[in-house]
Amino acid sequence: MSDTNVVASAADLALVERLRAGDETTFMMLVEEHQATMLRIARMHVSSRAVAEEVVQEAWLGIVKGLDGFRGRSSLRTWMYRIVTNVAKTRGQREGRSIPFSALAGDEGEPAVDPAWFFGATEPSPGGWRRFPDAWHEIPEDRLIGHETLARIGSAIEALPPLQAEVIRMRDVLGMSSEEVRNALDLSETNQRVLLHRARSRVRRALDAYLMEERNER
Amino acid sequence: MSQRALTCHEVVEIITDYLEDVLPAEDRRRVEEHLVVCDGCTMYLEQMRETIRLTGMLTVEQIPEEQQRRLLEAFRTWTA
């Protein structure tokens, strides 16, 4: 490709070539890797799981038919997710669903840490820790990475407002860059970061509550 | 931001900006100065880093085979 600003990897470009040739194994590999994420993206904007599945199928058609238009200016997954985002938003509008950004993003004013953890304005050191956060490094690694702890993180993410959940999954589970995430979900740089901040803060709180309760039982 | 020292309450709200390395140099310096003298915020930063590390251990869920099969059939018609 002659573009000067290609950011897609050589692996992405090779995948695109194989898809263009109608390679089924490549297609199924992509489905396995991306279908769950694509369904969640779609589900944010439409009324039901069934409609989300239709949206994703339509997006796959758009992806396969649009491969010639993939110039590699983003990673392949970012390009694919953006197509789902666009198809889903259009479908949502057609359904007459207009979901305010705030409903997907959650409460803007939510503090990262419960204010009760800090001294109040009239106390000796206002805004300082009333009690320090726990030292997690004292917790054995096998407990930290144990099934139960990871399950708690999973439930904490499930309980987040949908956009926060998607941003933290993309950033911290899938390992996408902030740039990739904001392109995939059509977010501004600031919104991406605010959503990530709230999501990580809430997951930390859930994890801390769980780890503390474990410790108190011992 | 003013030039007075940051409070812990303020640090936890800009911790993501700090980790994402998007703070203006001056604010970054103020966070670092705070961390040097504050065990509470150092612990908090460690908890955030651990949260990120542990979240990274989650796996992506699988989708039903039936759905995969339907997509493959569709793919065949699209590329035929």
Interatomic CA distance for residues A112 and A125, integer angstroms? 19
Query: Residue B42 domain-assigned?
Result: yes
| Architecture of the A101-217 domain | Orthogonal Bundle (1.10)
**Structure confidence at residue B79 as a pLDDT band (50, 70, 90):** confident
| All structural domains of chain A with their residue ranges | 10-94, 101-217
User: Is there a contact between A24 and B22 if contact means CB atoms under 8 Å apart?
Assistant: no
Structural domain contains residue B32: yes
- The rounded distance, in Å, linking the Cα atoms of A173 and A213 is 25
Q: Which of B44, B51, B70 sits opposite A207 (nearest CB)?
A: B51
Residues spanned by the domain of B32: 8-79
Asked if A210 has any chain B CB less than 8 Å from its own CB, the reply is no
CATH architecture of A10-94: Orthogonal Bundle (1.10)
User: Residue B20 sits in a domain of what CATH number?
Assistant: 1.10.10
Q: Is residue B34 part of a domain?
A: yes
Q: Are A201 and B20 within 8 A, CB to CB?
A: no
Residue B3 lies in a domain: no
Q: Evaluate the CA torsion angle A93, A98, A102, A105 in order and state its sign.
A: negative
Choose among B46, B56, B75: nearest Cβ to A173.
Answer: B56
> Are A10-94 and A101-217 the same fold in CATH?
no
Number of structural domains (chain B) is 1
Among chain B residues, the shortest Cα distance to A169 is held by: B55
Residue B65 burial (CB count, 10 A): 8
Percent of chain A with pLDDT over 70: 95
Instruction: Supply A42's token pair.
Output: 């779609």
Q: Chain A within 8 Å of B25 (Cβ-Cβ)?
A: no
pTM: 0.91
Does residue B2 fall inside a structural domain?
Answer: no
Query: Is B1 within a domain?
Result: no
How much is the ipTM here? 0.91
Long-range contacts of A107-115 (CB under 8 A, 24+ apart): A107/A161, A108/A194, A110/A198, A110/A202, A111/B13, A112/A197, A112/A198, A112/A201, A112/B12, A112/B13, A112/B15, A113/A201, A113/A205, A113/B9, A113/B12, A113/B44, A114/A205, A115/B9
Q: How much is the pLDDT for B5?
A: 87
Per-residue pLDDT of B4-43, as tens digits, reads: 789 999 999 999 999 999 999 999 999 999 999 999 999 9
Q: Does B65 touch chain A (CB under 8 A)?
A: no
